[in-house]
Amino acid sequence: MIRTFVAVDIPVEFHATISMLQSKLIGSGLRPVDPSIVHITMKFLGDVDEAKLPEIIAAIDRLDCPSFDSRISGMGAFPGMKNPRIVWLGASGDYSCLHEQLEDILSRIGFKKELRKFIPHVTLARTTYLSHVRKKELVSAIDSFRDFDVGLMNVHTVKLKKSTLTPKGPIYETLHEVDLP
């Protein structure tokens, strides 16, 4: 079994800015994501049998969405600012075509459709335990970057990735990529 997901990578040119933003959040109770592996998860597939990979690849090869521009901007938290568990940057642009087609084509080969509303985002960090004071500091820092603009990128490739979890963090490997017209 291999842990897999479908994603859009963030351009290398954004990594330094993402690292700078993370440095403004650093403190106890926060695990930042390595800027070199940040991405926008389009569909988490979970643990799949390796024998199913050709079927998954054939399915995502059927994507028929045009490439589009996406602005990475605005910091926030899931599930919300009262209880920040995941710190993120927003991603605007026409992700709906990709999301809807991925949900449809992958549901045909046995993957459940996601019931939650899709919110394109880049995960910057995850929280562990936050004291009341630390939570207030983090919320204040997030709020100070709520309108921060990282930049504009072109979404022209979607990737099927393998995720290997290690004590030092996940290691991602691209298994297949699809170029959008």
120 torsion bin: left (phi>0), alpha (psi -120 to 50), beta (else): beta
Q: How many Å apart are CA 98 and CA 101, to the nearest integer?
A: 5
pLDDT digits (tens, 9 = 90+) for 16-72: 999 999 999 877 889 999 999 999 999 999 999 999 999 999 999 999 999 999 999
**156 among known catalytic residues:** no
Residue-range domain boundaries for the chain: 2-179
Residue 26: the pLDDT is: 74
Q: How many Å apart are CA 75 and CA 19, to the nearest integer?
A: 14
pLDDT digits (tens, 9 = 90+) for 159-175: 999 999 888 888 999 99
What count of other Cβ atoms lies within 10 Å of the Cβ of residue 173?
12
**99 among known catalytic residues:** no
Classify domain 2-179 at the CATH superfamily level.
Cyclic phosphodiesterase (3.90.1140.10)
Residue 68: the pLDDT is: 97
Residue 29: the pLDDT is: 87
Q: Which of 121, 132, 156, 176 is catalytic?
A: 121
Q: Which of 15, 39, 156, 176 is catalytic?
A: 39
pLDDT digits (tens, 9 = 90+) for 75-111: 999 999 999 999 999 999 999 999 999 999 999 999 9
